[in-house]
């Protein structure tokens, strides 16, 4: 084995100390900073992906909202702020006349309701064929106002001519005016 000279030992020790100093003073802090930046980058990528997912979902929600708006239509128009019952009763009677229904009766009953939405039951009676009566129901369904037919009763007439007597109760709604005005 060769004996190393004193200078060579000092150079080797100095190199070892420099490597240790480099590892302790430069490499470890920089490596820690790199890991911290990678973690931060991963968090930002995850946040960006989540934002893109929400953006895509927002587009779907907007489409759903437009669809619902189209289905609902103009609520204010279909449920007016006043009763406007006279025109509606006239429209129902006209629908009965257009479908050649006989023994007609269209009569409102006592109104009821909550704070903002009022309900007026309307009793309807007529006689005609099943086709005429169902055409009448289609005509009532196509009216601008929202009308909910709750009770329907059909009876054969006493003459047994194929005619049917229809008794129904429909609810008509309107928005109550504020009493604070």
What 3-state class would DSSP assign to 115?
coil
Rounding to the nearest 10 degrees, give the CA dihedral for residues 78, 81, 86, 88: 10
The whole-number pLDDT of residue 1 equals 43
* pLDDT tens-place values along the chain, 181 residues long: 456 688 888 888 888 888 888 777 777 777 888 899 999 999 999 999 999 888 889 888 888 888 887 766 666 666 766 667 788 889 999 999 999 999 999 999 888 877 777 888 999 999 999 999 999 999 998 888 888 898 999 998 777 777 899 999 999 888 777 655 4
Closest alpha carbon to 137 in 8, 84, 147: 147
Beta bridge partners of 31: none
């Amino acid at each position: 084995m060769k004996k190393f000279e004193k200078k060579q030992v000092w150079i080797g020790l100095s190199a070892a100390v420099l490597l240790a100093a480099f590892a302790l003073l430069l490499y470890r802090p920089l490596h820690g900073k790199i890991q911290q930046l990678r973690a931060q980058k991963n968090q930002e990528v995850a946040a960006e992906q989540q934002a893109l997912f929400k953006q895509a979902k927002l587009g779907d929600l907007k489409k759903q909202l437009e669809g619902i708006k189209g289905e609902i239509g103009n609520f204010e128009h279909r449920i007016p702020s006043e009763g406007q019952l006279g025109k509606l009763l006239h429209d129902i009677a006209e629908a009965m006349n257009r479908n050649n229904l006989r023994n007609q009766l269209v009569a409102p009953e006592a109104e009821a309701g909550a704070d903002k939405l009022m309900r007026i039951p309307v009793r309807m009676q007529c006689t005609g064929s099943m086709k005429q009566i169902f055409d009448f129901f289609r005509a009532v369904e196509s009216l601008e106002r929202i009308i909910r037919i709750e009770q329907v009763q059909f009876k054969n007439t006493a003459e047994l001519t194929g005619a049917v007597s229809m008794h129904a109760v429909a609810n008509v709604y309107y928005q109550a005016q504020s009493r604070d005005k």
